[in-house]
């Protein structure tokens, strides 16, 4: 496969990067995003998501004895490590699994006393797991992922039946080749698939697993020259063909 592909039927589509080339891009390998973000406080998951992941997990533990949180594009893994510290201070009798995934392995050190946290270096588009999670988060990480819709579909398959998926998405970074205003169609298809979008926070959420019917899109490639999105940092545009 060549590193760049072009859809000749859609002359307004830029030259697109494949996944391997995008992974080597300075935009996709963002070394700043989530490196300093804490679990709680001013610059935190709680502020950006509008709820406390730990409080959510504690509520889940009221009805079951084990809980699992997967944080995609976790950066340094700091939020997971801080969550582990909170659970450990509570001396839980329950099983707590905190899993982080990031393309760049610039992780904070995991204390030897912590058996709750595991951090993996891999692309969200290629990582595989048989585990199921009560909570899956992606805090500003999809801005740098090529196949954003594919990543959402994969993550939905890792949810438990009553799990929650929550991720930042800027609809302006989702493109349908040959269409000038694709956000309305993409939003409609995501709602049909059970997702809800909160425009004020640019948050896409889903409660419960995705249906077996995939989203009606074929991924074409990514443009890492899209420029800044609502975060003020350069992002990646993801191009699709609607099937």
Query: Alpha helix locations (H) across the chain?
Result: 19-23, 45-49, 53-60, 78-89, 148-157, 183-192
Annotated domain spans of the chain:
4-242
The rounded percent of the chain whose pLDDT value lies above 70 is 90
pLDDT at position 93 is: 78
* Whether the Cβ atoms of residue 125 and residue 7 lie closer than 8 Å to each other: no
Q: Work out the mean pLDDT of the chain and round it to a whole number.
A: 88
**DSSP bridge partners of 66:** 95
Spell 13-38 as b/e; 16+ CB within 10 A means b: bbebbbbebbbebebbebeebbbebe
- 123-177 pLDDT, tens digit per residue, is 998 999 999 999 999 999 999 999 999 999 999 999 998 999 999 999 999 999 8
How far apart are alpha carbons 23 and 40 in whole angstroms?
30
pLDDT at position 35 is: 67
* Whether the Cβ atoms of residue 18 and residue 25 lie closer than 8 Å to each other: no
How far apart are alpha carbons 136 and 165 in whole angstroms?
5
The rounded percent of the chain whose pLDDT value lies above 90 is 70
Question: The pTM is what?
Answer: 0.90
Least confident of 59-68, 76-85, 154-163, 204-213: 204-213
Range 76-103 average pLDDT: 90
pLDDT at position 163 is: 95
Range 226-243 average pLDDT: 94
Measured on CA atoms in the order 73, 141, 207, 210, is the torsion positive or negative? negative
122 pLDDT above the threshold of 70: yes
Helix or strand run (H / E) with residue 162: strand 159-168
Class in CATH terms, 4-242: alpha beta
Least confident of 88-102, 121-135, 163-177, 178-192: 88-102
How far apart are alpha carbons 184 and 24 in whole angstroms?
31
Burial of 41 (0-12, 13-18, 19+ CB in 10 A): exposed
1 pLDDT above the threshold of 60: no
- 5-48 pLDDT, tens digit per residue, is 444 444 467 889 998 899 888 887 765 555 689 999 988 999 99
Secondary structure letter of residue 215 according to DSSP:
P
């Amino acid at each position: 496969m060549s590193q760049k592909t072009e859809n000749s039927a859609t002359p307004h589509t830029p030259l697109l990067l494949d996944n391997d080339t995008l992974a080597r891009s300075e935009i996709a390998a963002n070394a700043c995003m989530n490196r300093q973000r804490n679990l709680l406080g001013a610059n935190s998951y709680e502020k950006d998501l509008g709820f406390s992941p730990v409080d959510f997990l504690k509520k889940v533990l009221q009805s079951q004895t084990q809980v699992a949180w997967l944080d995609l594009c976790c950066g340094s893994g700091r939020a997971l490590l801080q969550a582990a510290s909170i659970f450990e201070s509570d001396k839980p009798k329950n099983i707590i699994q905190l899993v982080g995934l990031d393309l760049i392995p610039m992780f904070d050190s995991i204390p030897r006393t912590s058996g709750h946290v595991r951090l993996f270096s891999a692309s969200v588009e290629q990582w595989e797991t048989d585990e199921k999670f009560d909570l899956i988060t992606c805090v500003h990480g999809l801005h740098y992922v090529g196949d954003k819709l594919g990543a959402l579909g994969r993550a939905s398959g890792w949810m438990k039946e009553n799990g929650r998926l929550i991720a930042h998405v800027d609809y302006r970074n989702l493109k349908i080749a040959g269409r000038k205003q694709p956000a309305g169609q993409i939003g409609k298809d995501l709602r049909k698939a059970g997702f809800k979008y909160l425009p004020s926070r640019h948050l896409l959420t889903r409660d419960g697993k995705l249906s077996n019917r995939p989203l009606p899109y074929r991924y074409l490639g990514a443009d890492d020259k899209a420029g800044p999105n609502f975060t003020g940092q350069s992002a990646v545009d993801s191009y699709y063909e609607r099937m």
